[in-house]
């Protein structure tokens, strides 16, 4: 029987309940710690914000979230575990590495320049975080996160994907991805499956970054899950388009391979976004946005409550259980 590793212990897939598959407690872009003039919020402030966000989700019946912050994007797994434990809420954290332009690539490139197989170093780190825990914390990741750039998978990112595939195959951990601007999803899927990762163990994240139905159907027929996981981020792609694309997929019978979320970031290390801009975005970009505002639109567009439950409950359960997806006609 499959077991999920949350930051507070092991969890059976059937105990996930309603699940948001892509939210972030804390994120920090590389270099945040050098901007000491704008240090960001205190731990006390961040604890309060995280507690409020979890309470907001609980009010909507959400029981679990995945925080796919990779290892090099300001992740603080001990802080995540602290807020999850206090709130009695399930959070699954990630290992992995972000794309070349915004992650910790200089460190890994330096290691290669001075000798040693970069891919092996990366895989070793991911496997350790999945099996032994992060650092000396003993808190284990339960999923692998990888990312690619807009319109291209760079050589560095290919190395990350190879390492992630090794870690996934060795540990059985599933993979979730970041895509930019609705590109490279099918390419990510092919690359990872060519390395031996079963497609149903992969979520192609941010698939809702495009309204291209053909793009979505390539992923459907490729056998992966699609992350419609940026609801509320109209500045990247409008929710109206996301809803329309999701309804098309549900009507095509592909609703059994879509997971949903918002990609919210509750706390930032430093201040990478002007607070006034962030305040405006967060009027909508909250972890209750899907259940409060998007679900009524989906129901009005012809989706059923069974479809909604599939998105929020059944699909996350099946993904983590490792059950194969049925073939889809057409």
Residue 283: the pLDDT is 95
Give the closest residue to 173 by CA, choosing from 203, 198, 142, 145: 142
Render 119-145 in DSSP notation, one character per residue.
HHHHHHHHHHHHHT-STTS-PPP-EEE
Burial tier of 168 (Cβ tally within 10 Å: 0-12, 13-18, 19+): buried
**Facing residues of 144 across strands?**
95, 175
Q: Distances from the Cα of 239 to the Cαs of 138, 146, 256, in angstroms?
A: 39, 24, 20
Give the closest residue to 284 by CA, choosing from 242, 225, 226: 242
Would you say the pTM of this structure is higher than 0.85?
A: yes
Mean per-residue pLDDT for 81-105?
97
The proportion of the chain whose per-residue pLDDT surpasses 90, expressed as a percent, equals: 90
* pLDDT tens digits for range 212-222: 999 999 999 99
The backbone torsions φ and ψ at residue 40, rounded to the nearest 5 degrees and listed phi first, read: 85, -170
Euclidean distance between CA atoms 104 and 2, whole angstroms: 32
CB-based contact 100:149 (threshold 8 Å)? yes
Mean per-residue pLDDT for 50-57?
98
Render 286-314 in DSSP notation, one character per residue.
STTHIIIIIHHHHHHTT--HHHHHIIIII
CA dihedral 22, 17, 287, 167 (to 10 degrees): -10
Residue 167: the pLDDT is 98
* pLDDT tens digits for range 246-282: 999 999 999 999 999 999 999 999 988 988 999 999 9
Average pLDDT of the chain to the nearest whole number:
96
pLDDT band at 36 (very low <50, low <70, confident <90, very high): confident
Cα-Cα-Cα-Cα dihedral sign, residues 220, 222, 223, 225 = negative
Give the closest residue to 300 by CA, choosing from 228, 254, 243: 243
Give the closest residue to 90 by CA, choosing from 64, 108, 66, 69: 64
CB-based contact 122:142 (threshold 8 Å)? no
Does CATH place domain 4-321 in 3.20.20.140? Answer: yes
The backbone torsions φ and ψ at residue 115, rounded to the nearest 5 degrees and listed phi first, read: 105, 145
Q: Which two tokens stand for residue 96?
A: 């992995």
Q: Half-sphere exposure (CA, 13 Å, Cβ side) for 313?
A: 13
* pLDDT tens digits for range 112-152: 777 766 899 999 999 999 999 999 999 999 999 999 999 99
Strands (E), the chain: 4-6, 9-11, 18-20, 24-27, 62-67, 90-96, 143-147, 175-178, 202-204, 225-228, 258-260, 265-268
* pLDDT tens digits for range 300-328: 999 999 999 999 999 999 999 999 998 88
Residue 329: the pLDDT is 64
Mean per-residue pLDDT for 195-204?
98
Q: Is 1 helix (H, G, I), strand (E, B) or coil?
A: coil
Residue 111: the pLDDT is 80
Q: Which residues, including other chains, have CB under 8 Å from residue 42's CB and lie 6 or more apart? A: none
Does residue 330 carry a pLDDT above 60? no
């Amino acid at each position: 029987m499959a077991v999920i590793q949350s930051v507070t212990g092991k969890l059976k897939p059937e105990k996930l309940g309603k699940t948001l598959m892509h939210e972030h407690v804390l994120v920090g872009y590389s270099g945040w710690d050098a901007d000491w003039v704008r240090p960001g919020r205190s731990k006390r402030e961040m604890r309060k914000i995280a507690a409020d966000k979890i309470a907001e989700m609980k009010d909507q019946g959400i029981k679990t979230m995945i925080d796919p912050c990779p290892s090099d994007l300001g992740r603080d797994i001990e802080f995540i575990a602290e807020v999850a434990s206090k709130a009695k809420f399930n959070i699954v954290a990630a290992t992995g590495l972000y794309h070349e332009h915004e992650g910790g690539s200089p460190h890994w490139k330096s290691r290669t320049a001075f000798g040693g197989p970069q891919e092996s170093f990366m895989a070793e780190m991911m496997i350790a975080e999945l099996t032994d825990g992060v650092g000396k914390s003993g808190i284990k990741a339960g999923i692998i996160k990888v990312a690619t750039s807009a319109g291209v998978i760079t050589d560095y990112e290919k190395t990350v994907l190879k390492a992630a595939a090794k870690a996934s195959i060795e540990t059985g951990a599933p993979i979730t991805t970041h895509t930019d601007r609705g590109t490279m999803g099918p390419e990510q899927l092919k690359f990872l499956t060519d390395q031996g990762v079963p497609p149903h163990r992969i979520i192609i994240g941010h698939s809702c970054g495009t309204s291209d139905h053909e793009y979505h159907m390539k992923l459907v027929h490729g056998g992966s899950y699609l992350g419609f996981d940026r609801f509320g981020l109209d500045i990247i792609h409008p929710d109206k388009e996301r809803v329309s694309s999701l309804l098309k997929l549900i009507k095509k019978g592909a609703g059994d391979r879509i997971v949903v979320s918002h990609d919210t970031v509750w706390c930032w290390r430093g201040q990478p976004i002007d607070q006034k801009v962030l305040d405006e975005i967060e009027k909508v970009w909250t972890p209750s946005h899907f259940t409060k505002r998007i679900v009524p639109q989906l129901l009005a567009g012809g989706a059923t409550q069974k479809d909604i439950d599939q998105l929020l409950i059944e699909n996350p359960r099946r993904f983590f259980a490792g059950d194969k997806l049925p073939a889809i006609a057409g």
